[in-house]
Structure 1
Amino acid sequence: MGKRLVLAGGGHVHMSAMKGLEQFTRVGHEVILVSPDEYHYYSGMGPGLLGGMYRAEDVRFHVARMVQDRGGQFVRGAVERIEPDSRRVVLKDGQDLSYDVLSLNVGSRVPLNFPGAEDADNLFAVKPIQELVAARQKILEFIHKGIPLQVLVVGGGPAGLECAGNILGLAEEHGGPVVVSVVAGSRFMGRFPSRIRRLALDNLSRRGARILEGVRLDRFNTNQAVLSDGSRIAFHVGILAVGVSMPEVLADSGLDCGPGGGVLVNEHLQSVSHAEIFGGGDCIDFQPSPLDKVGVYAVRENPVLTHNLLAALDRRPLQTFDPGTPDYLLLFNLGDGTAILSKHGFSLRHGLAMKLKDYIDRKFMREFQVSGEV
């Protein structure tokens, strides 16, 4: 007799399962995808979407159609509560779904926990990626009116770098005056080797960006950011590219969670406290070794998670996930036709690096963009 698999979230790590859904349905299993939106946007191309390199259609997957075309069900909604002891997922609209196996790919979010942030209509977070579409439109409105634009980017990591570079690129393409201020925290790109940091600083500074180190965002007033040293920055558009946090539903569910707040999973991507629950991507903490919150691990998890979900339904042995080398390829889109590339301690900024990033991203999109996204 077939069993029910619930996929919570239509993100990167569920792509193989959704594309190969027929291997579940043809043996009688019922598959339900729960997602707040019928589309999933690929975060690796988000900065390029902000800068105008890509259209929305280029960077999204029609996950609802992907599942429905292969015999599954799509339920629009967000997970409000997980009840692992009774094997139920409760959605925010009150829908109640039972499961035999549950897979979590609910991602992470950029917290709007700065005082005044929720009341501002000119602040946009880098996640969900759809926010960058609205941010781009807002920036273009100012540029087309000829208003000298002040843009605030909060965050001194890769997301802050790529967003700042692509905002500058957007203004450079459309001929609009813009000042981009990056509130970088203690040190801009501080967790990366000095060569990467220098390439990033040189590029943004040469293009007129202000990089503010040693200060953090404290709160927002109307169209104004107040920093930890008491200084203030007026802005027309603000981008929040600070560190991500886990959805509260994970900790509230009673599942064992790791130090990063994600569901703690073993070498099979299986919850250490509830064997019928699996997960991948940003919303897990991998018990064997910490993993960076980067897309490369979600891509690597894809086939193993798909195999193990089917194996769990059929009571077959599970595969072990090997994260691979932590020295993965780094590519940062600077919004000026170049990218920073780093691998094995070698780093450079070049147009060919951007072409390589574009090729890799588009190849991933072609593999899973199978359901009428464009």
Structure 2
Amino acid sequence: MPKLLLAGAGHAHMAVMAAIPELVAKGHQVTAIGPGERHYYSGMGPGMLGGTYQPEEISFPVRDMVESRGGVFIQDKVARIDPARHVVILDSGHEEPYDVLSCNLGSFVPQGVVACDNQDGANGPGAAVASRSVFPAKPIEQLWKARQRVHELTRDHSIRVGVCGGGPAALEIAGNAWSAGRENGGNGCVVQLFTGGKLLRNMPERVCRLAGKVLRKRGIEVVEGSYVRSVQSGEIHLENGKRYVQDVIFLALGVRPSPVFRASGLEVSEDGGLLVDQCLQSLSHPDIFGGGDCITFVPRPLDKVGVYAVRQNPVLLHNLQAHLEGRSLKAFDPGGAYLLIFNIGGGQGILYKSGVAFGGRAPFWIKDFIDRKFIKKFLPNAPSETH
């Protein structure tokens, strides 16, 4: 029985997991590996921080999704791939074989600026975040812990919140942290964004102006002119020597693809992403496919945004099944301009597409409708789609 192994149960694998009954009916075995029983949708993570959503509203019960449809779910993390032996090595040491492997291992926020001071004496740049008040933007579950910490601290007094980063994720986290601090009689928080360069420097000027207007209205300061050098002992240290004391610190300094592929000796891009062709197939190993943030699409660079993982779903499903059955593959067309909406907290959003940009409640309502529809589409009781 040919075995399809899904390394990661993320956005790009949703259609494949929905089609497990069809794959099993055709004689294929399907196994999925995920670090937890639920997978969190990154597009709704800032809204969870700001109180719009509960964790169960923005996550997929991936174990149930796989097992209820006839697949096998393994709760573990992928450590390495051995393509010569056709096995995936897990953190537990278990080795899982495959005939065809699809990777949706996501991305992570580099924490090289973090110097952790903990009771065991472990510290230094790159150490794991040990402080109860330092939160990377990924994994998304961290934003729920951050929300609880903000509530805990603001019960007694106003707090200072520092957000390291100048991109869309940093903007959304800053806006939603500000909202979280004002909930349930909280004493609020003073939020600072440490961008180094210009805030949203890769975004259209109209979007930047809209974001700046909202930040100024809320008293959120943008600290430009010097990049973050380190985070330690409740302080953000900049390269220019200035230090800023913070009660809660968020790390939103961009993302990098999973390190698994470089560690496995696969052909990767400069940042470690799995190099794939127009069919989402590994350049070096044709029985390995991938989608989402963990890949580098060779035909043209793709932004690390969830819309591409969603668009890859039907192509990835077709090509995995076709490769198992010896049929021809389809090319992935990334499509044109995509709708970009930022959730900036307080029921407000900023929308941009094809030169049109506006802010307010309407963008948030549109984003909320689209995101909830995506979640609902792939829940266990949703009908599978045939492609």
Interval of TM-score (by shorter of Structure 1 and Structure 2): over 0.9
SS at match of 2:244: strand
Q: Which residue of 2 aligns with 1:31?
A: 30
**Match for residue 119 of structure 2?**
none
TM-score (norm 2): 0.93
CA distance in 2, matches of 1:97, 1:173: 46
Q: 1:48 Cα deviation (Å)? A: 0.3
Report the CA distance between 1:119 and its aligned residue.
Answer: 4.1
CA–CA distance in 2 between the matches of 1:42 and 1:49? 10
Provide the identity percentage.
45
Quick check: 2:50–2:346 contact (8 Å CA) kept in 1? Answer: no
Aligned mate of 1:356, from 352, 363, 366: 366
After superposition, what is the alpha-carbon deviation per residue over 1:31-78, rounded to whole angstroms, capped at 9, x for unaligned?
110111010000000000000000001000011110101111001111
CA contact (8 A) 2:49 2:144 kept: yes
Q: In the alignment, what sits opposite 1:217?
A: 228
Can you list the C-alpha shifts for 1:117-149, whole angstroms capped at 9, x where unaligned? 4343311111110000100000000112x2221
Amino acid at match of 2:68: D
After superposition, what is the alpha-carbon deviation per residue over 1:183-226, rounded to whole angstroms, capped at 9, x for unaligned?
Answer: 11211111111110111111012101110112211112311111
Partner of 1:164: 174
**Mapped pair 1:368 → 2:378:** yes
Moved more, 174-183 or 16-25: 174-183
Task: For 2:35, give the aligned amino acid.
Answer: P
Q: Does 1:280 align with 2:291?
A: yes
Name the amino acid aligned to 1:215. S
User: In structure 2, what residue type is equivalent to 1:297?
Assistant: Y
Q: Could you give the per-residue CA deviations for residues 70-103 of structure 1, whole angstroms, max 9, x where no partner exists? A: 1110011111110111111000101001110000
Shift of 1:171: 2.2
Please say if 1:332 is aligned against 2:342: yes
Structure 1 gaps, min length 5: none
Q: Secondary structure at the match of 1:64?
A: helix
Q: What residue is the counterpart of 1:123 in the other structure?
A: 134
Q: Which residue of 2 aligns with 1:154?
A: 164
Amino acid at match of 2:55: A
Compute the RMSD of aligned alpha carbons: 1.2
- Aligned-partner residue type, residue 237 of structure 1: V
The aligned amino acid for 1:133 is W
The residue that corresponds to 2:321 in the other structure is: 310
Task: Specify which of 114, 127, 137 is matched with residue 148 of structure 2.
Answer: 137
The structural deviation recorded for 1:371 is 5.8
What's the offset of the Cα at 1:29?
A: 1.0
Gap regions ≥5 residues in structure 2: 117-128, 383-387
Kindly indicate whether the alpha-carbon contact (under 8 Å) linking 2:178 and 2:188 is maintained by their aligned counterparts in 1. Answer: no
1:244 Cα deviation (Å)? Answer: 0.5
Q: Does 1:107 align with 2:106?
A: yes
Quick one: distance in 2 between partners of 1:258 and 1:177?
43
Equivalent residue runs for 1:256-267 within 5 Å: 256-267=267-278
Secondary structure class of the residue paired with 2:256 = coil
* Distance (Å, rounded) in 1 between the aligned partners of 2:223 and 2:380: 43
Query: What is the CA-CA distance between 1:177 and the residue it aligns to?
Result: 2.7
TM-score (norm 1): 0.96
Q: Report whether the alignment pairs 1:73 with 2:72.
A: yes
Structure 2 equivalent of residue 240 of structure 1: 251
Helix, strand or coil for the counterpart of 1:362?
Answer: helix
